[in-house]
Amino acid sequence: MAAGEGTGKIINVKNDSLEIRKCHELEDLRRAVALQQEVWNFSDAELVPLRLFVVAEKVGGQVLGAFDGDDMVGFALAVPAVRGGHPYLHSHMLAVRKQYRNSGLGRRIKLYQRAEALTRGFELIEWTFDPLEIKNAYLNIEKLGAIARRYTINQYGITTSPLQGGLPTDRLIAEWWLKSKRVESLLSNGSFPSPEIVSRISVPAPIYEWKASAGLRDRAKDVQDGNREQFLKEFDRGLAVLGYERDDEGNGKFLLGHWDEAWSYATLQP
C-alpha cells in the first residue's frame, strides 16, 4: 500500500520483491508498451505507441511501473486533461501481468497514482471501465472509492482485444475525487459511509464465459443492452454509482444513489 496516502508524499512501494515507481527512462517505457500487448493482445494498429508514453511522461502525465526485480509486471498510464477550466488526470491504462492479478497490486498502483497526483495539486483522476467486468468494478467503487455518473456507448469501437469478446466498448467513467471525504474515509478506516441506495443494476457471474464464447455471446450482449438502457436512464435523473456488491456466486450489482458531497468542484459538469 502506498505510503503517505493522505498527504501525497511519494516513496517507493515495496512488497517482497515488488516496487512501484515513476518511469522516466526510454527502456522502462518500452517495457510498458510490451506489457500492454501481453495483457490486451491488441493488433498493432490499436496499441498505444511508445511515442505517447514518452509524451505523457514529458507533459505532466504519469507513467508508473510495478517491478519484480528488473521485470515490469504492471503499469499505469495517465495524461493531463482539462474540463470546465479545471485540470485533472485521465488514467488511460492500468495493466497487471496475469500471474500477479488478484494480489492487490492493481489497487497499490492506483494508490501510488493518487499520492503522486496529490503532490502536484491534482484533486481528480478519471478513467473508463467496462461495466461488465465484475472484479474491476468492485475494485474501482469499493476498494478505491470512485463514483460513476456518465456512460459512453461503444467508446473505442469494436476492438481486436479478446477481453472485449467482440462486444461494443461501452464504458462507465470513474471519477476518483482524491481528497473527498468518501475517499479519505475509505483509505483511513477501510470503509466509507453507506449511501442511501435508490436503484440497482446487476451483472451475472457467467458474463465472462458468455463473452468468451461465440455461441453464448448474444447473452452477454443482452445484458449489455439492458444495463446500458438502465444506466442512461438513471444517470439522466441525477443518480450516480456509489457502491458495488458481489454475492457468493460471483454476481455483481451496481448500487446507485445521489452524490451530494459539496467540496471543491464535485459538481463539475461532464
Predicted pLDDT of residue 69: 93
Q: Which residues pair with 172 in a beta bridge?
A: 129, 151
Q: Which residues of 129-152 are buried (b: 16+ CB within 10 A; e: fewer)?
A: bbbbbbebbebbbbbbbbbbbbbe
Predicted pLDDT of residue 11: 44
The predicted model scores a pTM of: 0.89
- Of residues 179 and 14, more confidence is placed in 179
Reported as type and span, the H/E element at residue 137 is: helix 134-138
Distances (CA, A) of 269 to 83, 86, 128, 150, 266: 8, 11, 17, 10, 9
Predicted pLDDT of residue 54: 98
Q: Residue 106: CB partners within 8 Å, gap ≥ 6? A: 74, 94, 96, 139
pLDDT band at 265 (very low <50, low <70, confident <90, very high): very low
Q: What is the mean pLDDT of the chain?
A: 90
Predicted pLDDT of residue 6: 41
Cα–chain center distance at 185: 19
Domains in the chain with CATH codes: 13-192 (3.40.630.30)
Q: State the DSSP code for 44.
A: G
Predicted pLDDT of residue 263: 42
Predicted pLDDT of residue 35: 97
Predicted pLDDT of residue 29: 98
The count of residues in the chain is 270
CB atoms near residue 77 (< 10 Å): 25
Nearest partner of 30 among 12, 5, 47, 14, judged by Cα: 47
Contact (CB, 8 A) for 252 and 244:
yes
Q: What is the pLDDT of residues 124-180, one digit of tens each?
A: 999 999 999 999 999 999 999 999 999 999 999 987 777 677 899 999 999 999 999
Q: What is the pLDDT of residues 45-86, one digit of tens each?
A: 889 999 999 999 999 999 999 999 999 999 999 999 998 899
Distances (CA, A) of 81 to 61, 95, 117, 153: 9, 21, 13, 21
Dist. CA 173–CA 128, nearest whole Å: 4
User: Which class for 20: exposed (0-12), middle (13-18), buried (19 or more C-beta within 10 A)?
Assistant: buried
What's the angle, vertex CA 46, arms to CA 21 and CA 169, rounded to 5? Answer: 95
Contact (CB, 8 A) for 240 and 255:
no
Dist. CA 206–CA 37, nearest whole Å: 26
Dist. CA 55–CA 244, nearest whole Å: 35
Instruction: Find the mean pLDDT for residues 84-98.
Output: 95
- Of 6-15, 39-48, 213-222, which gets the smallest average pLDDT? 6-15
Dist. CA 217–CA 220, nearest whole Å: 5
